[in-house]
Structure formats: structure tokens, C-alpha cells
Chain A
């Protein structure tokens, strides 16, 4: 087995407000794997995600990225090598689509020509015609289009790790399914290591190679969808999975 790209060891996080967000979390994400963190609001899944690009720092335990301690890495460098998509996309409203997609390449100092080529390739990859959309602004796009741009932006500098924080959470049901399917195709094609946070069970089953069920700052069970469904670790997981869709053999 290859060494994990992302790992958390006995990770704990206590906020200054006294809230214990994470307790003794152990987690490994293998190269090319898509791991989904699922749980109710406030279970600590987003906090765990944000540990991997150092938007949050642990108060106990350790985060490792490609075998290196996260605290030994420069956070700015680390973030530029890590894709990130959040719920509402977080597109810079005062920059057009082109500039948004070119953001990380620009920070990395790529030449203008290289950036433009990359941008056009990516926009086509996520299904947006560069000629039509490159000069648009966020407020001129639909919710689904914004998430497509956000995804293109996340993979612009070709990071091997992508963190996604409820990327489809704010979309209407139809658009969500459409984007999830497209995402599944892209995922197969790109072979990236992905950590995805959601509270949508169907989404977790559709996209996750493995699913980690979280509750009150702990990981209750982390396993492939089918194992999860057949051998739930405890009553909570069982209850949760009772509503899960059939997993194809």
C-alpha cells in the first residue's frame, strides 16, 4: 500500500471559546482517493478539512501532508499547492472569471500566456465556453456556473490534493445532481486526492471511495460505502445509513 497523502494522528481541536471541535481523530487519505466526511452541522467535519491547508491549527495531535508535518510547511506555499472549493464558491466578486481561475497560477508567477492557456483548458474542462464566460463576473453567473468556475480555480495550478467544503451545498437539487455526475467523471479523469465535506448522504455514496462518519468531533467509522452499509460500527451509523441509497455491486 502506498503511503497516505493526508493523515491526521490523534488530532484534537479546542477553540478559544471552549468548544471542543475535534477529539482524537485519526485519518489517512491514500493517493488518488476521494474521502468524504459526513455528519450533522457542528460535528467538526469542516474544521477537520481546514486542518489540511492550515486554515486551522491543531491543539493536540498532528497533521501530516505527504509524510511531512503540516507545522513544518509554510502555510502560504502549502495552500498554493492545495485546491480549495467552498460552499458558495468564494469567487472574488470584483474579478472576472478569467482572473479568478488564474489566481493561483498568478500567485505562483506563471507567465501570462501559460496562464491563459491553462485557464481556457480548465474552463472547457468544467464545461464553460472561455469565449463566453472568461470576462464575466460572479454576479452574472448562475449558482452552478459559479461552482464550476470555483472548481476550475481549485485545480488551476494542478495540485494533487483538493479540499472541498460542501461544494454542492448551495445548489438546487437538479443542478446538484448534474454537477455531482460531472464531478464524478472529472475525478476519474484527474486522479486527484480529494477530501470532501458534505451532509448529503446520497452525495457521499455517489462520490466517496471511503466515507468517514463524524459525530461530536469524533470519527465513528471510516470505510467504503458498502462496508459502512453492511457493518455499521454502531447504532448511530446504522440509523444514518438506513436512509442511504442502494450501492451498486
Chain B
């Protein structure tokens, strides 16, 4: 009998599952670029130091859509947003007025539609702009976007994913200026600068407050037709949160008009170019404004450190990330087993519908991971829940397929003998077919385990943490050390999980089977 063993295993796994859900804490989000992270971290620190509330950070969420959905669904309480983005991307309106008009418009619409509040602007704008390497600007005497139009067909543009798709990005520019690039390559914000430096691309979208404009010797082209809407930065907060904790409004209000474009550019530069931790930069900025007392920031910079040294000094954070990672993939896998094994048993008795259904489930494997994760947000908010659901969906297929084929193909002559000697179908299933199929089922679980551990690195994009966090942050600041500090443990974890599941398989495998 294998039941007691299987049961032991389930109980052990359940015991490992940490209890989730904690007392009232404010969840601060941000998008996945330096400035948004810095602002998010500043909000978090202000709330922590000036109220009694505890703060949970979900920084580095993948883009506007994810942040906004998270805010609307209550997955986060506030995040830094830009008025222009609110107008164009979220409300899907075309820009019509100046900064004051835009702020007024988004305030009214967000309030009436979703009970979301735009707090007072932080004092700087961070608009989209187009830039070219200064060498190109000089050669062709480029000053404005209009100057660029004639030259663009012979150029390769390197654009951010959002910019290339947003109405206030390339599609709008094409309409407003008749701008057509010879070719367009979409890439990570941080990589564009490197690409421009190597002249892989001739033109790129930048942000006004981008610190790297200075470093990389780029010239910003004037928006002579006033196409780009005003992008004032401000905190966007849930009405329900403000009602429960009005002090949040007051505390964030301390940042009203506190940050200039120049100041923000410097802060961004420290994170983007000098690889300083966001926590320290945010703390320094708040100290300089006299808003929080001096405090040592307990983080480790990757600067001038070897990978191993950085990982060692950062071990506490990496340890926590590893646990998060294990929790996410473990929960996804466990749920996958709980659903897929019984479903496999059921399908084995309904063979006619089995193959088509398994094929349909199989298509879940072809959905790109990031798309699946993003798709979960409207239903499950941000954080661990949507990530676990997505990982669960990925885990189902390999386990289901192997359970089904393992049972179907389990030694037919043995099954026949067991039947012929008078076992009931239920006895044949439980005492013969399941034990004989166990190695095949476990091989499916192993595949699912490696898939979930691998895919869980993407959970960082929807605020679920895990070892993807340092990878995402590292890609942003083009910091190989930080990337590897997440990637190496993630790879080791995949190997370890595979080995562990392999050991469990050998333990569960009945003697005499699968030799």
C-alpha cells in the first residue's frame, strides 16, 4: 500500500506552506523602472516613518496596465503614476490641454469611475521624448522631431515596449508628424542606451528625467508640434485606502512640488548608472528634504563586488527571495497535482473525450508566461495569488498527460491477470494500475516542478517576489552581478527541485516496477 506514504508527503508539503495574509498593511506599488521604484520606495519610507502603518512593497510591477489593474482590484493601495499616462493610456483620450488641464481631467475621471485619487503633483514632469546620439544630431543638424521626419526612413529606432504600442508613443507620433522609421526594435529601457552607444540604433525614446541622457551624450529633440502630453508625476491612491487612513494623504502631501526634474535626474542616475540600491537613494532624497531622520540603509550595493561576495553580503534578501520562490512554485505544483491526478483518473475512464481535452489543456503550455501572468491580474490582483494560479495552470498539463498515459499503458497483461482473478475495477485501479503508473506520473510531476520553478522567476513582474526580483532589477540597471545573483540561485533551485522530486519518485516507486 502506497497510500500512507503519499499522505505523509502531502501533509509535509502543506505544513511547509506559510500562512498568508497579515494585519492591516499598506501596499505600495511601482512600475519596473528606476524612477518609479525610487518614488515608490520614497512613499513607502515616508509612510513607515511618519505613521503607525506597516508597508508592504510591490515595486517593479510590469508596466502601466499591471499597476493600474492592481490598484483598481485592491492588490496595491498606491503607486506613482504620470498624468499623461493616466489620460492617454488608461482613459484612452487624446491629449488636449496643458499640465493643469490634464491633471484636472484625470482627477475627475479617475474619481468618478474608480474612486481613485491623484494626490498633488510631486513637482516634476517626466514626459516621453525622442533623442538621438549627439553625433547624429550634429551631422544632420537635427533639433526637433520635424527635422527627423525626412531622415527617419533610413534609421533604426530602439523603443521601449510600451512606447512602441501606446497611443501617446509611436503610433501617435506617426499620425502627428508623419514619422516613419526604417525599422523599429523594441527593447528594455536600460538596453537602449547601450544600443545607442554602439550605434545599433539611431534614435530612441527617453524620459525627461532620465539620468543617462547626460552620460550617454544624447540630444533630446524638441516636440515642436506639442504632441507629447504633459506627464506630471503624482501618487495615485485608492479612495478606500484614503478613507481608512487619511494620514496617508497628508504624509505623501509632504512631497508636493518637492522634486525638480534636475533632482529627479540625479536620483535616477544613481540607480541606473551607479548601481546604487533604490532604498539608499530614496532614503537620501527624503533626508535631503528633511522629511525623515537620518537612518542607515541596510542594503548591499553590487558596485565593486564579485558575484559571490555580493550574494554573500546580500544573503538575507536572497534567502527570503528563495523562500518566496519555493513557496510560489511549490504551491503551483501542489495545486497542479491535486487537480491533474484526479482529472487524469477521470479521463482514463472517458477515453473518447480524453485526447481532445488533453490537447486543449496542452495549449496552456503555449501561452507566453508573461502574458499569462498579466492576464491573471484583473481576476486575482497582484502578488502571490495570480502568480500561483498561473504556475498552477502550467503545472497541470504535464501531470495530467502523464497520469492519463501512465494509467492507460500500465502493463496490460498484469491488469488482465488482476481482473481475471477477481479484483473489482476499483481494486485494479488502486492496487495495480496506480502503483504501476507511479513512475510515469512522477515523471510528469518532475517536469511540472522544473517548469514552475523556471517560470516563477517571471512572478516578479506582477509583484509576487521570488528570485525574479533581482533579475528584473538587474536588467533595469544593466547590472550583470545583480542579474546573476537571482539567476544563479534560480538555476540551482531548478536542479535541486528536480533532484528532490527524483528522490521522492524513487521513494514512492513500488519495488519491482520500472526497472
Interface residues of A (CB under 8 A from B): 53, 55, 76-80, 84, 86-96, 103-104, 107, 137-139, 150, 153-154, 163
Contacts and interface: CB of A to CB of B under 8 A. Distances in A.
Contacts of A88: 413
Contacts of A153: 421
Contact of B510 (A77, A90, A94, A150): A94
Contacts of A87: 413
B422 A55 contact: no
Grouping DSSP codes into helix (H, G, I), strand (E, B) and loop, the A interface class, with mixed when no group exceeds half, is mixed
A84 to B, nearest CB: 4
A76 B411 CA distance: 21
B442 to A, nearest CB: 14
Interface of B: 411, 413-414, 416-424, 427, 431-432, 435-436, 510-513, 515
B416 A93 contact: no
Contacts of B422: 76-80, 104, 107
Given A94-B436, A137-B511, A103 B421 contact: yes
B421 A104 contact: yes
A6 B414 CA distance: 25
B420 A55 contact: yes
Given A86-B413, A88-B413, A94 B420 contact: no
B240 to A, nearest CB: 58
A87 B413 CA distance: 9
A90 B416 contact: yes
A93 B515 CA distance: 10
Contacts of B416: 55, 86, 90
Grouping DSSP codes into helix (H, G, I), strand (E, B) and loop, the B interface class, with mixed when no group exceeds half, is helix
Contacts of A95: 512
Nearest to A75: B422
Contacts of A86: 413, 416-417, 420
Nearest to A80: B422
A90 B420 CA distance: 10
B440 to A, nearest CB: 14
Given A137-B511, A139-B515, A93 B414 contact: yes
Nearest to B436: A94
Nearest to A95: B512
B421 A94 contact: no
A115 B419 CA distance: 20
Q: Which 9 residue pairs of A and B lie closest in terms of their CB atoms, listed nearest first?
A: A90-B417, A94-B510, A80-B422, A79-B422, A137-B512, A84-B420, A93-B512, A94-B435, A94-B513
Contacts of B414: 90-93
A103 B513 CA distance: 18
B211 to A, nearest CB: 65
A16 B196 CA distance: 70
Contact of A84 (B411, B421, B432, B510): B421
A80 B421 contact: yes
Contacts of A55: 416, 419-420
28 contacts: A55-B420, A76-B422, A76-B423, A78-B422, A80-B422, A84-B417, A84-B421, A86-B417, A88-B413, A89-B417, A90-B420, A92-B414, A92-B431, A92-B432, A93-B436, A93-B510, A93-B513, A94-B436, A94-B513, A96-B512, A103-B423, A104-B421, A104-B422, A107-B421, A107-B423, A107-B427, A137-B511, A138-B512
Contacts of B427: 107
A95 B432 CA distance: 9
A89 B417 CA distance: 8
A79 B419 CA distance: 8
A79 B420 contact: yes
A76 B420 contact: no
Contacts of B512: 93-96, 137-139
Contacts of B436: 93-94
Nearest to A103: B421
Contacts of B413: 86-88, 90
A246 to B, nearest CB: 35
A75 B413 CA distance: 19
B410 to A, nearest CB: 10
Contacts of B421: 79-80, 84, 103-104, 107, 153-154
Contacts of B515: 139
Question: Which of A77, A78, A89, A93 lies at the interface centre, i.e. has the most chain B CB atoms within 10 A of its CB?
Answer: A93
Nearest to A107: B422
Given A103-B423, A104-B421, 20 more contacts: A55-B420, A79-B420, A84-B421, A87-B413, A89-B417, A90-B416, A90-B417, A91-B417, A92-B418, A92-B432, A93-B510, A93-B512, A94-B435, A94-B511, A94-B513, A103-B418, A103-B421, A104-B422, A107-B423, A137-B512
Nearest to B2: A94
A163 B416 CA distance: 13
Nearest to A79: B422
Contacts of A90: 413-414, 416-418, 420
A88 B432 CA distance: 17
